[in-house]
Structure 1
Amino acid sequence: MRTAARTLPTAVGRALAALGVLLVIGLLPWLTRTDPARTILHARYADREPTPGTLAAIRRETGLDAGPLHLLGDWAFGLLRGDFGTSWVSGQPVRPDVLSALGVSLTLMAASLAVALLVAAALGARTLLAGARGPGHKPPTARAGALGAVLAALPEFLLAAVLATVFAVRLGWFPAVGWGGAPGDALHAAVLPALAMGLPAGALLGRLLDDALPGAFAEDWVRTAAASGLPPARVARHALRRVLPPLLPQFGFVVVGLTGGAVTVETLFSIPGLGGTALSAALAQDLPVLQACVLLLLALGVAVGIAVRAVRRAALGPALDAGALPALRRPALPPSRTLTATALVSAALLAGVIAYGMTRDPLHVDTAARLAPPGAAHPLGTDALGRDVLARLGHGAARTALTSLAVAAATLVLGVALGVLTRWAEGLREVVNALPPVISGLVVAGIAGSGATGAAVAVTVVAWAPIAAHTAVLYEQERAAAHVEGAVALGADRGHLLRRHILPGVLPPVLRHALLRIPALALALASLGFLGLGTEPPAPEWGRMLSENMPYAERAPWAVLAPAAALAAVGVLAVAAGALTAGARTRRGGGSR
């Protein structure tokens, strides 16, 4: 009975969330401001005149004239027979293409995940080894902060373009585009996109691991293990087992994100994956293909969520049920000198560049100075239209950095609020995480129009899920701790428990996590700008600067490196701010999270 009571809210939330997403996707032709019949006609026959008779024929053929409920009903009954429908554009069955795209995405996800795990292990290794030597040695600090921040803040599409230029075009070691038919060819083609996606994902996981390890090494069992002569390798293994269960949900989010969120990388390398297929279908208003892609992504997200929850329950279930799980208390350690110095330098340079750029005109076009290198007239050079890169970088800071901060604040509030709901919001988190930000951006742009506000809303819609998952696992551990059980026995109500016992232990690490997510939010906004779903031209925005100048990266690298360096600086500052908050003391026990 107890297991059923715990499972029912999750299952209900998952089913309602999945139904809501599929319903919105199914209603997309009626929610957007464009006529889907015109879009389908253009996708089929680019030069054919959109006469009323032709458009009416397309509506009859696709069932658009029957209304949304009829379309959704036919699609649902087809799923019961294993039929995903017929493409509105190609006229071919949807199932073979989307299943093939799923196989490609899973292969690419596996390769990217291997890269991410190696990067995360490398970033956390120094802290792990330092803590395993015992309390007599210098306490571990955030050793990999600066490097992890830079890696996490590098745009995936920029990494993909640089890797393709160097290792595919110049050296010829790997294919620049396409996906091989044989397994060996597919793995060979997956190397560069896997590096482009795995490096930032691994940096985020490594930073979260590096942030959690000092709390494990500060516990009493480490002193006992060292006094009893336990080998450092075993201490390190036990410390990993202590910190990994709370991080498992983040691992699940990364797995799903590497599958459905690789749209820009798939587009650059012409990889027929699920994310790129969904994007193409959404742009062409090919509803059956889009619905099938989203359904598979949702199924993958739910499956990963169930697996993560099962592994975590197997590792911590008895401790959680018995109320014997102590909360990790991260010691109040100063950030590493390298991270502090890097953050100070980054802040000074970024502030100087933005301030100086704000004094210049970002819209002035000088056709005689197209792709001009840095010089006295243009300190950071010009772009393909002859506009000053420094001016566009300065004026675009508010649209990128400040928007990222606003989205981070919104996701923090939503994540904490929905994370405390735990089981009722768990299914919703799994479903939302499976929805790529680009698809969310297309839906929001179709309903409200493209622009900076729409891009921010689209990112917020899906970006709260990792924060909520982190809040939920910490809330569950704090609620099962012995001191909370004692407070309940003394008659403390839910409000008192939240204010005095649970939230003081949950909020500090969640706040640091939210700060670590700022570069990812900036990159998500930049990705939407890169795909033309963010700020509309000619307004400057760092993501749009990258997309506009990417074709000229080899001739004018300064036009691409400037916004990329600014994004990396934002990442370093976010990680440094998170490290500074680690010294905040909680009200209980004088420790900090």
Structure 2
Amino acid sequence: MVFFANMRSSLSACIPWLSRLISLSVVVVLVGLMPDIAGIDPSQSILRARAGAQQLLTAEALQTIREDLQLDRSAPERLWDWLTLAMHGDLGVSWVSGVSVMESVQQTAKTSLLLMSTALGMVFIMCMVSVFYTMQRWQKNRLAHHHGSLSSVLVSLPEYVVASLLIMVLSIWLGWFPPYGWQGIQHLWLPSLAMALPAAGLFSRLLNDSLIRVLNEPWVITWLSANISKFQILRFALWRAISNLIPQIAMTIIGLTGGAVAVEQVFSIPGIGRLILGAAKSQDLPMLQGGLLVLLLFSMFISSSSILLQRWLLGHSITSGKLISSHSSFRFTQSKAKRTISLFIFTLLIGCACWALIRNPYAIQFSRLEAPSFAAPFGADAVGRDLLARIGGGMLSTLKMGVVATFLSLFIGLLLGFVTRFSQGLIEITKGVPYIVAGLLVAGLTGMNPNSALIAIVLVSWAPLAAHCASLVMEAKAQPYTHLAPVWGTNQWRVLRYYLLPYVLPPLIRHALLRLPVITLSLTSLSFIGLGVKPPAPEWGLLIAENLPYIERSPFGVLLPITGLVLMAMAINLLFDD
């Protein structure tokens, strides 16, 4: 019996590693077979990447490319050769430039790691400022009035939008930093800040929510009654709050390393994210496979280390059922002022959408970049179309797609977060794929259909929620009442219904709502690379892309969609701020 028990324990420990191996293998195989699956001839993209967009696609030139790269061989044969070389540390050479993939990946990875380290330091400083503010309010017994409107604003702005605004303000208007390039230390701060601000907004909100929940636990009153200093209580509470969010720290590190594709693209930084993006666009399979493999291995290493670190921090309390903590609730705020402000914002957004319904978003009826007037309250775009009609008309469709993507991400994250023994590898692999690269891969595998952007965003957006869910499930199972429930004869369904879900759902739903604006803008940003909605639809991502070159003359086309998402984020978070 002891032998079989040990055997089951060993098999259970091997399942997560088997999940990692299978998930990594599936991604590598799908990328390697992508041209055949999608029916794409990579020789056309390779020829244009080598010779320029004006190169004529003659039959002779294409045949030369095929012979040079051995594209006449089947994709499984090429994939097998690449895997054989990769096992010996050789990732091949680029189909476009002919340089070594390993050397290119190493150089760009160093750049991305430096950028990530600087951004992570900024995130740490900003989060500590937010945490100290929360601690001060707790010491003054004003914790119930705490809310994170600033963090909601920061989370609402994805990196490429923050990067564009920082360039406009700090580079063009003030002249403090160079707008792009990677030649010296002066080029490091602006992209690092663009990456750090949204990450700090998300993590500081999650950390403050966790800290507030810990400070409301019964042991705090017991320690205060025992005359234990508030400093010791706050130190232990912060340790508990951080230990609950170790997987989110890992997610932040992964996102700042490989997920900074947009920032690297905006600032012309030679990082690994930009390398993978360029390889995906040009169908440079060896470079795409090598870059993704390194990025995914890094994601698996960071995620696995975070799980081990979390288990070490929580210690024996995980398995002994002695982790005592209170679960939070999900309800509308009890503050009349917050409800009023939230209702006012929703009314303003709905009023703008209704006003736009009686206007034509497609008709060219004004002069180019016309200034705001009575006839065109927000002015006109570069073509002469009414910006009010386009911004208001695109609001409902943009928000609808964002809500659908957020709900699907929450649902998938909740399901897979409960079975991390089997889904751990999939979570880690998914967290390592930048959403822009995921969009290109989805487009390559499924074709350019209107749902490509939605599929791509859902495929990468559920992983942070699943990691958070897994952490909450582990914490919920370590509670004394959950640990002893089977001893009392409680079946698994009742444990799930009355013990686990009430503990997991409130913070997870708040996390999903916090991600709603950035998921929405991530959907819109895929319009930049030709996925999803096509022009001339009044979609907010297209509006930002179309009007960004004219932001100095006509800022409303860029600032108003961003402001709309920021206001929506503030309204949602104020509504559920308790």
Fold-level similarity (TM above 0.5): yes
Once the two structures are superposed, the pairs formed by residues 57-456 of structure 1 within 5 Å of their partners are 57-131=64-138, 133=139, 138-141=141-144, 143-180=146-183, 185=184, 187-330=185-328, 334=333, 339-366=338-365, 368-450=366-448, 452-456=450-454
Are the equivalent residues in 1 in contact too, given 2:157–2:518 (CA < 8 A)? no
Distance 1:578 1:62 in 2: 57
Give the letter for the 1:9 counterpart. Answer: I
1:55 aligns with 2:62: yes
**Aligned to 1:11, which of 14, 17, 28?**
17
CA displacement, residues 63-88 of structure 1 (integer Å, 9 cap, x when unaligned): 22111111111111111222111111
Question: Taking structure 1 as reference, are residues 43 and 484 closer, same or farther at Cα in structure 2, changes over 3 Å only?
Answer: same
CA displacement, residues 344-396 of structure 1 (integer Å, 9 cap, x when unaligned): 33212211111111221111123x52111221111111111111111111221
Give the letter for the 1:94 counterpart. Answer: V
Query: What SS does structure 1 have at the residue aligned with 2:143?
Result: coil
Distance 2:292 2:210 in 1: 34
Question: Taking structure 1 as reference, are residues 320 and 79 closer, same or farther at Cα in structure 2, changes over 3 Å only?
Answer: same
Give the letter for the 2:152 counterpart. Answer: A
CA displacement, residues 312-341 of structure 1 (integer Å, 9 cap, x when unaligned): 011113100111112333378946677545
Unaligned runs of 5+ in 2: 1-5
Give the letter for the 1:364 counterpart. Answer: A
- 1:470 maps to which residue? 468
Distance 2:442 2:179 in 1: 32
Distance 2:338 2:260 in 1: 29
Are the equivalent residues in 2 in contact too, given 1:463–1:521 (CA < 8 A)? yes
Distance 2:69 2:486 in 1: 60
Question: Taking structure 1 as reference, are residues 57 and 115 closer, same or farther at Cα in structure 2, changes over 3 Å only?
Answer: same
Query: What SS does structure 2 have at the residue aligned with 1:64?
Result: coil
Deviates more, 1:327-336 or 1:227-236: 327-336
Are the equivalent residues in 1 in contact too, given 2:376–2:388 (CA < 8 A)? yes
- 2:3 maps to which residue? none
Give the letter for the 2:29 counterpart. Answer: L
Distance 1:333 1:549 in 2: 37
After TM superposition, give the deviation of residue 164 of structure 1 in Å.
1.4
- 1:585 maps to which residue? none
Query: What SS does structure 1 have at the residue aligned with 2:97?
Result: coil
Distance 1:291 1:15 in 2: 16
Question: Taking structure 1 as reference, are residues 416 and 142 closer, same or farther at Cα in structure 2, changes over 3 Å only?
Answer: farther
Q: Provide the aligned C-alpha RMSD in A.
A: 2.0
Are the equivalent residues in 2 in contact too, given 1:141–1:214 (CA < 8 A)? no
After TM superposition, give the deviation of residue 486 of structure 1 in Å.
2.1
1:32 aligns with 2:38: yes
Question: Taking structure 1 as reference, are residues 340 and 114 closer, same or farther at Cα in structure 2, changes over 3 Å only?
Answer: farther
After TM superposition, give the deviation of residue 36 of structure 1 in Å.
1.1
Are the equivalent residues in 2 in contact too, given 1:245–1:316 (CA < 8 A)? yes
CA displacement, residues 412-452 of structure 1 (integer Å, 9 cap, x when unaligned): 11111111102211121111100111111001122333354
After TM superposition, give the deviation of residue 522 of structure 1 in Å.
1.1
Distance 1:145 1:338 in 2: 15
Deviates more, 1:336-345 or 1:189-198: 336-345
Once the two structures are superposed, the pairs formed by residues 554-569 of structure 1 within 5 Å of their partners are 554-569=552-567
Give the letter for the 2:44 counterpart. Answer: R
- 1:586 maps to which residue? none
Distance 2:126 2:489 in 1: 47
Are the equivalent residues in 2 in contact too, given 1:146–1:339 (CA < 8 A)? no
Give the letter for the 1:484 counterpart. Answer: T
- 1:551 maps to which residue? 549
User: Percent of counterpart pairs with the same letter?
Assistant: 36
What is the number of residues matched between the two proteins? 570
Query: What SS does structure 1 have at the residue aligned with 2:144?
Result: coil
Distance 1:219 1:245 in 2: 16
Question: Taking structure 1 as reference, are residues 509 and 7 closer, same or farther at Cα in structure 2, changes over 3 Å only?
Answer: same
Unaligned runs of 5+ in 1: 583-593
CA displacement, residues 83-109 of structure 1 (integer Å, 9 cap, x when unaligned): 111111111211211111111111111
Question: Taking structure 1 as reference, are residues 31 and 395 closer, same or farther at Cα in structure 2, changes over 3 Å only?
Answer: farther
After TM superposition, give the deviation of residue 151 of structure 1 in Å.
1.4
Distance 1:353 1:544 in 2: 19
Distance 2:496 2:371 in 1: 57
Question: Taking structure 1 as reference, are residues 339 and 70 closer, same or farther at Cα in structure 2, changes over 3 Å only?
Answer: farther
Give the letter for the 1:449 counterpart. Answer: G
Question: Taking structure 1 as reference, are residues 335 and 63 closer, same or farther at Cα in structure 2, changes over 3 Å only?
Answer: farther
Distance 1:305 1:58 in 2: 40
Question: Taking structure 1 as reference, are residues 227 and 178 closer, same or farther at Cα in structure 2, changes over 3 Å only?
Answer: same
Distance 2:337 2:133 in 1: 14
Deviates more, 1:75-84 or 1:342-351: 342-351
Query: What SS does structure 2 have at the residue aligned with 1:517?
Result: helix
TM-score under structure 2 length normalisation: 0.94
Query: What SS does structure 2 have at the residue aligned with 1:65?
Result: coil
TM-score under structure 1 length normalisation: 0.92
After TM superposition, give the deviation of residue 165 of structure 1 in Å.
2.4
After TM superposition, give the deviation of residue 485 of structure 1 in Å.
2.4
Give the letter for the 1:56 counterpart. Answer: Q
Give the letter for the 1:15 counterpart. Answer: L
Question: Taking structure 1 as reference, are residues 489 and 10 closer, same or farther at Cα in structure 2, changes over 3 Å only?
Answer: same
Give the letter for the 2:50 counterpart. Answer: R
Deviates more, 1:206-215 or 1:10-19: 206-215
1:21 aligns with 2:19: no
Query: What SS does structure 1 have at the residue aligned with 2:437?
Result: helix
Give the letter for the 2:250 counterpart. Answer: G
